[in-house]
A = this chain, B = another copy of it.
Amino acid sequence: MAAPDFTLSAGPVTVTARTLAGLGKPILYHYDPEFRATFTRTQDKVAQILKTSNDILLMQGEAIVGLEGALRSLITPGMPVLNLVQGVFGKGTGYWIADFGAELHEIEVGYDDAVTPEQVEAYLDEHPEIRMVCLVASETPSGTVTDVSRIGPMCRDRGILTYVDTVSGVLGMPWETDEWGLDLCVAGAQKCLGGPPGIALVSVSERAWEAIYANPAAPRDSYLSLIDWKEKWLGEGRFPYTPSVSDVNGLEAALDQALEEGVDAVVARHEAAAHVTRTGARAMGLELWAVREGIASACVTSIRLPDHIDNALVRDHAREVYGVMLSHGQGAGNLIRLSHMGPTAGGLHSIVGLAALGRSLADLGVTVDIGAGLEAALGALSAQRL
């Protein structure tokens, strides 16, 4: 099968030619002074999009290497940890927490819903022993978000550590690591940033480092170790292992573009794209997956499918017949996702996604009003831009 005409997937996303040129730059030795400078600059730029003065670690691997490494670093046997579950990634975090030996507490809601700050507050009031709260800021598989802006400060004020999976959250929602007091954040490059898929962006607060250093089980001399990066690279200027020079170059190119556009402008662009997409989907007669719009993410729009239409079938049809790569729900439910992340957040990319989805559903026998949907989406876009 040929390459798709359009990739509107939930990550890795289509990236710009400038980011690709970054990835394709000549590979330098990792200890070349030029690359060392690049690495340090790139760390600083990650700090800017995370809005933090915390340490930044660029761990080489998919974001999950940062998530696992960080959680293993923080968790001690028997530690009471509250995990918020509103999707498959949150659920998976819980399995890890239990595996790693903590005492697992969970607030779980339907995967089309969101845990509220009120629920968290009530739970913490009842369970003053909780020492860490874990949450997924943006549940990519189902397209819902958690209100980190309120849960973060709530934890900080109570002296509770926060472990935040913001893989698809950063640049897809307003983000204030320091203002919200977030201790450990793990972001991905291949989502709203439009960067390469092979690098994990981790921020670690002073308080998190204290917890990690106090933890004898925290990975050391390991690919999963945060301490290695802290001591060897940040401390002594030696890499714990060879970083992926190409991924760092691609990452820097993506960061440069985001910073030139402005962090707030990038977030606003994602929100605008989400509004256009949702407007079109509704006018087409489709139902949003999220139970209420306030918790729908700005990076993907999840559409609830009728029970008799399997989401994989729809996705395969859109790809094979119309050359558009969409995503399904990775187990979150019978949904299909129209992504608007990175360079495909904005403008007529939403029309492409809606057209591919609408026509695929029609081909498969679902009643949809394609014309009304596309017209409404374009109307919303026009209203935004004029």
What 1/0 mask marks residues of chain A from 13 to 56 whose CB sits below 8 Å from any chain B CB? Answer: 11101001101111111111110010000000000000000000
Q: Is the CB of B20 within 8 A of A4?
A: no
A297 at the interface (CB under 8 A from B): no
Taking a contact as CB atoms under 8 Å apart, the answer to whether A96 and B221 are in contact is yes
Measured between beta carbons, the chain B residues less than 8 angstroms from A21 are 21, 24-25
A20: which of B26, B29, B96, B324 is its contact (CB, 8 Å)?
A: B26
Q: Give complex CA distance A235, B65 in Å.
A: 22
Instruction: Give the chain B neighbours of A62 by CB distance below 8 A.
Output: 60, 223, 241-244
Query: How close is A195's CB to chain B, nearest CB, in angstroms?
Result: 9
- Assembly CA distance A245 to B381 (angstroms): 31
Tell me the minimal C-beta distance from A9 to chain B in angstroms: 3
Query: Across the interface, which residues of B come within 8 angstroms of A14, CB to CB?
Result: 26-27
Name the one of B2, B12, B30, B362 contacting A34, with C-beta atoms under 8 angstroms.
Answer: B2
Copies of this chain, tallied across the complex: 4
**B321-A386 in contact (CB<8A):** yes
The interface on chain A, measured as residues whose beta carbon lies within 8 A of the other chain's beta carbons, has a size of 86
- Which B residue's beta carbon lies closest to that of A92? B221
B26, A242: Cβ atoms under 8 Å? no
A250 within 8 A of B: yes
* Most chain B CB inside 10 Å of its own CB: which residue of A319, A327, A359: A359
Q: A348 vs B164: C-alpha distance in the bound complex, in angstroms?
A: 38
Question: For A355, what are the chain B residues with a Cβ–Cβ distance below 8 Å?
Answer: 348, 351, 374, 378
Residue A370, interface by CB 8 Å: yes
Query: A375 near B: Cβ within 8 Å?
Result: yes
A325 to chain B, nearest CB (A): 5
A382 surroundings in chain B (CB, below 8 A): 321, 359, 362-363
Query: How many whole Å from A350's CB to the nearest CB in chain B?
Result: 10
Bound Cα distance A256, B223 (Å): 29
Please name the residue on chain B nearest to A362 by beta carbon.
B382
Decide if A358 is an interface residue (CB 8 Å cutoff). Answer: yes
Q: Which residues of B contact A352 (CB under 8 A)?
A: 348, 351-352
In the complex, 7 of the A-B residue pairs with CB atoms within 8 angstroms, ordered by the A residue number, are A10-B29, A12-B30, A21-B21, A23-B246, A196-B246, A351-B351, A374-B375
Beyond A9-B31, A198-B244, list 14 extra A-B contacts (CB 8 Å).
Answer: A1-B33, A5-B346, A7-B29, A10-B29, A21-B25, A24-B24, A62-B243, A223-B224, A322-B348, A348-B356, A355-B374, A359-B378, A363-B382, A371-B372
The list of the 5 closest CB pairs from A to B, nearest first, reads A24-B24, A371-B371, A198-B244, A9-B29, A371-B375
